[in-house]
Amino acid sequence: MFIRDKEFELYLSEEIIQQKINSVAGLLNQQLKGKDPLFLVLLNGAFMYAADLFKRIDIPAEISFVKVSSYHGTSSTGKISDLIGLDRSVNGRTVVLVDDIADTGLTLMHVREMILQDNPVDVLTTTLLVKHNKLQNRIKIDFECFSIPDDFVVGYGLDYDGYGRNLKDIYKLKISG
């Protein structure tokens, strides 16, 4: 399957993704009971994961959406811009940062540092995917769905140059030859 100029192949099916999210939601429900968590979703990539995850949260919880921009094309630039759209205080809250993927993990680390300035009780992280080969040691993802090699992936919220976010499954870049 082509997205713009690049060919991709199926990597994680919708069924596998949904099963895994179900079990991660179960863990969050257990561990965050009584903590009135605030889920803070990093747009754009995490919108689909956040929707499917949050539907399965059965304890009292809030959700809000913020935006950072740090990625262009198929490799991380490492440049992080500011956090846009934080519409409430995280002071005294248990915050769950939700992102699509931790590649270097720098985005999540940077957002976590910004959030910590407002003195939350705790800041936890959850991502659908983690590229452990590239993850910097200082960063811990508390609740991950899938650990993947350093392949470029699209679908289920993740994009290649803005396209492919609508796919229900996750595809990886096909290496030809």
Residue whose token pair is 């993740």: 158
* Burial (CB count within 10 angstroms: exposed 0-12, middle 13-18, buried 19+), residue 93: buried
Closest distance to ligand IMP from the beta carbon of 141 (Å)? 10
Write the DSSP assignment of 73-110 as a string of letters: TTEE-------B---S--TT-EEEEEEEEESSSHHHHH
d(CA 67, CA 87): 12
Contact flag: residue 70 with ligand IMP (CB under 6 A): yes
CB 108 within 8 A of CB 127: yes
x-or-dash pattern for ligand IMP, window 78-117, by CB under 6 A? ---------------------xxxxxxxxx----------
Q: Does 146 bind ligand IMP (CB under 6 A)?
A: no
Residue 144: beta bridge partners?
A: 127
The binder of ligand IMP chosen from 71, 95, 98, 144 (CB under 6 A): 71
Q: Choose between 22 and 76: whose C-beta lies nearer to ligand IMP.
A: 76
Which of Mg ion, ligand IMP, none does residue 98 bind to, with CB < 5 to 8 Å depending on kind? none
Site for Mg ion in 41-80 (CB under 5 A): 45
Find the binding residues for ligand IMP in span 11-40 (CB under 6 A). none
DSSP SS3 for 115: helix
Catalytic residue among 52, 103, 122, 159: 103
> Which residues form the interface with Mg ion (CB under 5 A)?
45
